[in-house]
Amino acid sequence: MFLYQSLDKVFPRSYTAKVFCVAFIGTHVPLICMVMVVLFRHGGIWGQIDVLAPLLLATLAGTFATLWSLKAILVPIYKVQSTMESFAADHTAEPLPDIHSDEVGCLMKSVNSHFSLVTSELSEAMEAAHTDPLTGLLNRRGFEARTSEQCMGSILLIDIDNFKSINDNFGHDAGDDVLIEVSRVLTESVRTSDVVGRYGGEEFIVFLPNSEHRSSSVIAERIRRSVAQKVHIGPRLVTVSVGVAIGSRSKTIPDLIPKADDAIYRAKREGRNRVVISGFAVV
């Protein structure tokens, strides 16, 4: 490291300049000195100018050729640098060539391997951060991220009726089983284009893209009926109340969620186990 640290004081911003300096000093300075000594012994510089000039020109040409070749052969190092900077900036980068077996080739293979590992770990961490660990659905953060660029559509909020009494009478493990079963029914009841998430506690949320009043009410009723038919704990049936908010061009998803939430409270007041569409009568 001593030589590198010493040259870094002279060329702090360029590794290429450090290599050029070492190459020049190590090869051309001794050659020039040898030529000068020979010329002095045979009549001095001016007496041998016809010999000296071609030698100097050849030396300069060799120097430039050497420096150009060094810069060309350092291209893989530059590529590694730019790739690492790109990955550090936005976690994306083109893979480096991995067909070479020398030291630089091994470096590029190692960088590719580390990038692949980091990318995989980042993806797993992002998925874990956006996934509800109990049900496997998107959590609130994941739902918001998935729907952040969505425009037209409807929102369903689904709340399990009397969920507290399920936990109180059957235990929290049974309550967890109910949450898992309801999430399964939700996934089976919606379209592949719909986005399903656990919004918190016993509440779930569904975004129906490009869905208007009729299709939204059909899907909401399908969910309500399917839960009542398929989810139970012992002899007790499990039911849900569904609040629906129909989207428009002027309404964003954050605008729709409070309307769907108000619809759920209306469904609870009306006796639970029913669908309420915001602004419409009870279904």
Give the Cα separation of 50 and 47 in Å (integer): 8
Q: Give the contacts of 182 (CB within 8 A, at least 6 positions apart).
A: 158, 160, 204, 227, 231, 238, 240
Q: Which of 202, 203, 212, 221 is catalytic?
A: 202
202 is catalytic: yes
Q: What is the DSSP string of 158-222?
A: EEETTHHHHHHHH-HHHHHHHHHHHHHHHHHHS-TT-EEEEEETTEEEEEEET--HHHHHHHHHH
Give the Cα separation of 242 and 266 in Å (integer): 10
Which residues carry out catalysis?
202
